[in-house]
Amino acid sequence: MADAKHDIDIRNLYKIFGPNGAAHVPDVKAGITKDELKAAHNHVLALDDITMTIPAGRIQVVMGLSGSGKSTLIRHINRLIDPTAGEVIFEGRDIVQMSQTELRKFRREKTAMVFQKFALFPHRTVLENTTYGLRVRGIPDREAGERARRWISRVGLDGFEESYPNQLSGGMQQRVGLARALTNDPEILLMDEAFSALDPLIRTDMQSVLLDLQAELKKTIVFITHDLDEALRLGDRIAILRDGRIIQQGTGEQIVLRPADDYISSFVRDVKRGNVITVRTVMRKGERTDSAVSLPATTLLEEAARAMTNADTNRANIVGRDGAHLGMVTLRKCVTEMIAPDDSEEVDPEVQVA
């Protein structure tokens, strides 16, 4: 596993589908809309001036409705799609400018992709699917097999090494896809609607598997989804796209508390705030209480309310990662902040975003 981690810097990225896309970049910069470009020039604006930094070792979620450009964006990171204009910088290199030889090496050694439709070889066993990327790289069969078996075990598929994809459930097939990606030990893991085809319970289980692995591996993960609950559960940071533009990006907590416009507000309206907002956001900074309950600053409001209720107290002290005292929070504050401000007169309008 690589020791150094690197951010991915996407700078002024445009993608216009059509025979003469580059000629229309100035039109887009001048303000022509997606619909106007299509009507006037029969070209499709897929990405419109995307600039973002994907933090190393974290999960960056990109979400939006169908046609927002999210799947197009992720395919620019490993250059399955070439941009019309812009840069994708990794390790000081612009991926857009790589030669085919350099790009092939980058794809094989630095990235792996997990698809919505699993993309397994139906005529290969679980073990053969998992070792495929290593064999392409020329890794000896014995080493490839050992590494693959280790990851097959880690994703919970012990005993299925010789099974074929059609003998597995959808969730099991996606575990194979995840094991195949991780066996290559990529620094960047690209996941395009990876869990969208799964039943809700299996989907939740796969989210847990990913979070457990990420807690140990600290990969740079770009996760595409159209589901806000999934985005909030998985994402260290979230970017929301509409018509190829980033409308808002930040932590899930920032987006829920301060939606940038009505479009974002419509996304977050029904979010369970208690599962997103942390006590750090609503605590009284620097204050102390004699309560026996002490909670980490990252505790979610719902968890905090439950902890205080179980301890038969209405106050708790808040501490940082190093155990240092940060402040205190009341049960009443946690409960009222779990309700949208429009629904409660008790909510402090000046909520601090950590």
CA distances from 103 to 12, 72, 98, 106, 223 (A): 21, 18, 6, 5, 21
Q: How much is the average pLDDT of 168-183? A: 90
340-352: pLDDT as tens digits: 554 443 334 333 3
Question: In this model, does residue 2 exceed pLDDT 60?
Answer: no
Determine the Cα–Cα distance for residues 173 and 176; give it in Å rounded to an integer: 5
Residue type, 236: D
Q: In 10 A of CB 237, how many CB atoms?
A: 20
Q: How much is the average pLDDT of 14-37? A: 95
117-149: pLDDT as tens digits: 768 899 999 999 999 888 888 889 999 999 999
What does DSSP assign to residue 260?
A: S
Residue 34, Cα to own-chain centre: how many angstroms? 26
Residue type, 87: E
Q: What is the pLDDT of residue 37?
A: 95
| CATH of span 55-268 | 3.40.50.300
Q: What is the pLDDT of residue 201?
A: 87
| DSSP secondary structure string for all residues of 85-142 | EEEEEETTEEGGG--HHHHHHHHHHHEEEEETT----TTS-HHHHHHHHHHHTT--HH
Q: In 10 A of CB 253, how many CB atoms?
A: 20
Q: What is the pLDDT of residue 4?
A: 61
Question: In this model, does residue 276 exceed pLDDT 60?
Answer: yes
What does DSSP assign to residue 278?
A: B
Q: How much is the average pLDDT of 10-23? A: 96
Q: What is the pLDDT of residue 342?
A: 46
Residue type, 288: R
| Domain spanning 277-343: CATH superfamily | CBS-domain (3.10.580.10)
Question: In this model, does residue 167 exceed pLDDT 90?
Answer: yes
Q: In what order do the strands lie in the sheet with 44-54?
A: 44-54, 8-17, 85-90, 93-94
Instruction: List the chain domain ranges.
Output: 55-268, 277-343
87-104: pLDDT as tens digits: 999 999 999 999 999 999
Structure tokens at 121: 């070889």
C-beta of residue 64 within 8 angstroms of C-beta of residue 225? no
In the structure, what pLDDT confidence band is assigned to residue 266 with cuts at 50, 70 and 90? Answer: confident
Q: Any idea which of 14-18, 199-203, 269-273, 337-341 has the lowest mean pLDDT?
A: 337-341
Q: How much is the average pLDDT of 296-314? A: 95
Q: What percent of the chain has pLDDT over 90?
A: 72
Structure tokens at 99: 């030669």
Tell me the three state secondary structure of residue 43. Answer: coil
Determine the Cα–Cα distance for residues 317 and 329; give it in Å rounded to an integer: 7
Largest CA distance in the chain: 70
Determine the Cα–Cα distance for residues 80 and 88; give it in Å rounded to an integer: 13
